Amino acid sequence: GTASNEGSTWSATVEITIHDGDHNPVDDVYVAGEWSPGSFLVSDECTTGELGGIGSCIMLYPSIRKRVKSVSFTVTTVSKSGEVYDANANHDPDGDSDGTTITVNKP
């Protein structure tokens, strides 16, 4: 995940990539999750490949107050008609998350 300074606020961005068992990217997968900035949850959703990223989509949490030191994003749903999702296979190639939940720190 990445963080960006926006003056009086900041934003967090997470890229999610879905692939099959052979590591081929998969488009048209619905992904939903929740941003957790502390005491409340903010839902977010995207569809892989929708904006040109092959097997990928972006979750953005804008306008986070400066007093919030970090936010976490947790994937809650992954679905595509005719496909089976195995949450136990979640992983992160760059190692900054467990493949299901990632924390983004304030810049």
Residue 68 is encoded by which pair of tokens? 């919030």
Amino acid identity of 51?
Answer: L
The total number of structural domains in the chain stands at 1
The pLDDT, as a whole number, for residue 68 is 93
C-alpha–C-alpha distance, residues 56 and 29, integer Å:
9
Evaluate if residue 92 carries a pLDDT over 80: yes
DSSP string, 9-78: EEEEEEEEE-B-TT--B--S-EEEEEEE-SSS-EEEEEETTTTS-TTEEEEEEEEEETT--EEEEEEEEE
- The identity of residue 29, as a single letter, is V
Write down the pLDDT at residue 96.
Answer: 86
Q: CA-to-CA distance for 3 and 107, rounded, in angstroms?
A: 6
Q: Quote the domain boundaries for residue 40.
A: 2-105
Q: How far does CA 48 lie from the centroid of its chain? A: 11
Flag whether pLDDT at 47 surpasses 90. yes
pLDDT tens digits for range 56-82 = 999 999 999 999 999 999 999 999 999
pLDDT at 37: 78
The pLDDT of residue 84 is above 60: yes
Lowest mean pLDDT among 33-37, 41-45, 47-51: 41-45
DSSP code of 105?
E
CATH number of the structural domain spanning residue 8: 2.60.40
40: confidence class by pLDDT, cuts 50, 70, 90: low
**The pTM of the whole model exceeds 0.85:** yes
